[in-house]
Structure 1
Amino acid sequence: MADVTTVVFDVNETLSDMTPMARRFSDLGAPESLGPLWFAATLREGIGLAASGDSRTFAEIGRETAKAVLRGHPIDRSPDDAATHVLDGFLGLPLHPDVADGIRTLRRAGLRLITLSNGGVPVAEKLLGDAGLRDEVEHVLSVDDAGIWKPATAAYTYAARVCGTSPEEMVMVAVHPWDLHGAHRAGLRTAFVNRDGATYPTHLTPPDHTVTALPDLAPLLR
């Protein structure tokens, strides 16, 4: 088995703490509980398109799902303005507390670091830049350029092509089991970041590694 040379990070929820997105809905006069519902609906629609071989950007889908989940709630602005307010929240998200140390630890171990998101490049660039971590990451990639969302195999092989490496030398790091299952099918190794003690779904391929915090990953890849 080839040694791991490249760590591929998912972005939304894996690196970014999306808790503040709930407040984007309460700002509009809607329940905060719509935040997780909206994100799940956006993923569902994007992955559904990928399953049929089609694709739209996260922003396109997220705008429509925001309007859908807000329908029936007495919000204080137009549906288009409300959707913009929700999506703009991505540009102000913080990192999870373990991320900065984890990224620097992996770089000190001599590993190449990239991100591969179902969201847009500007969101990931700002997230890393605000935290002073952009220089630690070699490539900031989006499935927009792959032409299909994760967990489709082509999304992961796109990242391998950009890096000039084989999928077998890459490890996908994510909090989403469906993402790791897709990466495994594409030939990558996988690492599950389980910050909240979740049970891994038995119907998906188990991860190669499980950590509760990102700094714990580097020793497992040696």
Structure 2
Amino acid sequence: MVAATLRDGFALTAAGSYAAFRTIGSDLLRSMLVAEGLDATDATVKSVLPGFTELHAHPDVAPGLMRLRELGFRLVTLTNGAAAMSEQMFAEAGVLQLLEHRLDVEKPGRWKPHATAYRYAAEVCKTQVDRMALVAVHPWDIDGARRAGMLGYYLDRRQTPYPQAFLAPDLTAPDLESLAETLAAS
């Protein structure tokens, strides 16, 4: 469902339109429920969607973010979903207080990988986009950030080849802790 939500958000952005992650996700979930012959009422949809707020951070996230902060990096998140959806995950990981901003694409009205989303983050942080780096596990996100002028740091958690169709990352690491140590050594 997440992949289909991203697909539809990307499609709307490409068409010059916007809808929130929750709206697109709700529509897709309703369609999936109907296709399976299940109850697709608003109550059912509203009971399933909160599951996104119960995701857990990977074990390397907290030590990696702490190390990056020690190194003097400003830490900001930018999501295609609602920024509030990740609050519980970051709080449980003990890193919520390390994050200067938790941003989403609602205000710019363009989903990542559109350049407007990344430039919005730079505006909020009051810095130039070329002074920022995006850390992500999705090659499409790295590519979008690079095309917008940011550095792109790819977390290759699955150890798979990076797609040649996308701009290559500036750095690749298997996890956030390793990335922080690579940056500390440079």
User: 1: CA distance between counterparts of 2:40 and 2:33?
Assistant: 11
**Structure 2 counterpart of 1:163, from 99, 106, 125:** 125
For CA contacts below 8 A with separation 6 or more, give which structure has more relative contact order: 1
Aligned counterpart for 1:66 among listed residues 25, 29, 32: 29
Counterparts of 1:78 and 1:208, CA distance in 2: 44
Q: Which runs of 5+ in 1 are unaligned?
A: 1-37
Partner of 1:208: 170
1:128-165 deviation line (CA, Å, top 9, x unaligned): 12322111010000101221110100000000010011
Instruction: Verify: 1:153 aligned to 2:142, yes or no.
Output: no
Partner Cα distance (2:168, 2:143) in 1: 8
- What is the distance in 2 between the residues matched to 1:206 and 1:66? 34
Between Structure 1 and Structure 2, how many residues are aligned?
184
Give me the whole-angstrom Cα distance separating, in 2, the residues matched to 1:190 and 1:181: 7
RMSD: 1.3
Q: Given the two structures, how large is their TM-score scaled by the length of structure 1? A: 0.79
Per mean C-alpha deviation after superposition, the further-off stretch among 162-171 and 62-71 is 62-71
Q: 2:95 aligns with which of 130, 133, 138?
A: 133
- Matched with 2:59 is 97
Which protein has the bigger helix share? 2
Structure 2 residue runs of 5 or longer lacking an equivalent are: none
Aligned to 1:33: none
2:33 touches 2:40 (CA, 8 Å); kept in 1?
A: no
How far apart, CA to CA, are the structure 2 residues paired with 1:117 and 1:111? 19
Write the letter of the residue equivalent to 1:47.
F
User: Is residue 111 of structure 1 aligned with residue 83 of structure 2?
Assistant: no
* TM-score of the two chains, using structure 2 as the length reference: 0.93
Where 1:45 maps in the other structure, the secondary structure is helix
Corresponding letter in the other structure for 2:25: G
From 20, 38, 55, the equivalent of 1:57 is 20
Q: Deviations over 1:156-189 (max 9, x none)?
A: 0000010011111111011111111110010000
CA shift for structure 1 position 52: 1.4
Between 129-138 and 182-191, the greater mean CA deviation after superposition:
129-138
Match of 1:219 in 2: 181
Offset, 1:71:
2.5
Q: Is the 8 A contact 2:9 2:18 kept in 1?
A: yes
Displacement of 1:70 in angstroms is 2.6
Deviations 1:36-63 (A, max 9, x none): xx11110000011111121111000000
Task: Report the alpha carbon displacement of residue 81 of structure 1 after superposing the two structures with TM.
Answer: 2.8
Aligned sequence identity (%):
41
Partner Cα distance (1:79, 1:45) in 2: 21
Q: Secondary structure, in 3 states, of the residue corresponding to 1:145?
A: coil
Are 2:157 and 2:174, in contact at CA under 8 Å, matched by a contact in 1? Answer: yes
CA contact (8 A) 2:62 2:93 kept: yes
4+ long deviations beyond 4 Å: none
Amino acid paired to 1:198: T
Matched position secondary structure for 2:76 = strand
* Letter aligned with residue 166 of structure 2: L
